[in-house]
């Protein structure tokens, strides 16, 4: 029975790239941004930025805005030429700001900073955050801003903290989590997902599947075969979820569970070599 589900679907957590033809909602329209699109074809972060900018013309916004996430954009450098410390106050690093202060706060453009007196760190030393080129702050492994963020976060392990900045964190909208389901039910859902992959007639967005998974997890269901199709349609998820998506997806999922390949208790000799049952096709196409 387990053999009917291919290894790539046999996991508690399934993550699909935004551009997946069946399970992806499309990628953000901001150039190389890898995050899945939501409103107006923009990922959550870029959508926020677009709204914050007063909802400018979308194509132009997508073409001109910084594709990086905010936390991957470089911190500002001290404005004194040749200084690699991060800006702390008024565009100056802490040391240059102190000197500028002692010099009587002259016009920064006219102020010739006593650069030679400022000792740079060891050659090649840089903030430990992968993309950050700034000099580390005193004895700390991070530049001014990243050191502040690190302190605010309770000074966690340096390596762990640094890694968090470079990870492309998977967001919930591309993730299906099946850990809350019993073994039989989990297998049936995994198999239904696999059938969707093999018969890609409609999109199946992870959010819709998750709505169904949550409905199932709230019941004492052991298998989709516990009830017949009519019972599922009329009994599950009362009051009915506002969004009909989970229901639409549920029928083909239940049907694929009756496939000879997966049916509970069937001896494995009846396997149809992993093919999805014909009844497993989506309700929308029948």
Interacting residues toward Zn ion by CB under 5 A: 28, 30, 33, 35, 43, 46, 78, 80, 83, 85, 93, 96, 127, 129, 132, 134, 143, 146
Nearest to 142 by CA among 150, 47, 216, 281: 150
In the complex, the smallest distance separating the C-beta of residue 269 from Zn ion, rounded to whole angstroms, is 50
Q: Quick one: 88 or 185, whose CB is closer to Zn ion?
A: 88
* φ, ψ of residue 185 in degrees (nearest 5): -60, -40
Q: Quick one: 33 or 207, whose CB is closer to Zn ion?
A: 33
In the complex, the smallest distance separating the C-beta of residue 136 from Zn ion, rounded to whole angstroms, is 8
Q: Quick one: 90 or 180, whose CB is closer to Zn ion?
A: 90
Place of tokens 């599947």: 209
Q: Quick one: 33 or 176, whose CB is closer to Zn ion?
A: 33
Task: Locate 98 and state its tokens.
Answer: 């102190």
Task: Locate 286 and state its tokens.
Answer: 């029948």
In the complex, the smallest distance separating the C-beta of residue 35 from Zn ion, rounded to whole angstroms, is 5
Q: Which helix H or strand E contains 208, and what residues bound it?
A: helix 206-217
Helices (H), 15-124: 44-52, 58-64, 94-102
In the complex, the smallest distance separating the C-beta of residue 75 from Zn ion, rounded to whole angstroms, is 6
3-state secondary structure of 173: helix
Are 74 and 130 spatial neighbours (Cβ–Cβ below 8 Å)? no
Q: Quick one: 143 or 212, whose CB is closer to Zn ion?
A: 143
In the complex, the smallest distance separating the C-beta of residue 144 from Zn ion, rounded to whole angstroms, is 8
């Amino acid at each position: 029975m387990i053999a009917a589900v291919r290894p790539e679907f046999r996991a508690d957590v399934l993550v699909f790239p935004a551009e997946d033809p069946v399970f992806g909602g499309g990628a953000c329209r901001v150039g190389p941004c890898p995050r899945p699109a939501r409103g107006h074809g923009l990922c959550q972060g870029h959508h926020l930025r677009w709204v914050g900018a007063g909802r400018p013309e979308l194509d132009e916004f997508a073409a001109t805005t910084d594709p990086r996430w905010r936390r991957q954009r470089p911190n500002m450098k001290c404005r004194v030429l040749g200084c690699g410390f991060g800006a702390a106050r008024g565009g100056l690093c802490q040391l240059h700001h102190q000197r500028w202060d002692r010099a009587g706060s002259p016009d920064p453009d006219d102020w010739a900073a006593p650069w030679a007196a400022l000792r740079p760190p060891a050659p090649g030393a840089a903030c430990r955050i992968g993309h950050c080129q700034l000099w580390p702050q005193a004895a700390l492994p991070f530049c001014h801003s990243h050191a502040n963020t690190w302190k605010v976060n309770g000074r966690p392990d340096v390596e762990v903290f640094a890694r968090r900045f470079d990870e492309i964190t998977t967001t919930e909208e591309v993730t299906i989590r099946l850990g809350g389901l019993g073994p039989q039910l989990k297998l049936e859902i995994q198999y239904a997902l696999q059938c969707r992959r093999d018969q890609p007639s409609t999109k199946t967005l992870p959010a819709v599947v998750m709505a169904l998974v949550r409905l199932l997890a709230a019941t004492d269901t052991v298998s989709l075969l516990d009830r017949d199709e009519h019972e599922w349609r009329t009994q599950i998820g009362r009051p009915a979820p506002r969004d009909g998506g989970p229901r639409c997806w549920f029928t083909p999922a239940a049907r694929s569970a009756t496939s000879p390949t997966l049916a509970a208790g069937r001896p494995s000799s009846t396997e149809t070599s992993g093919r999805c049952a014909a009844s497993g096709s989506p309700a929308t196409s029948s």
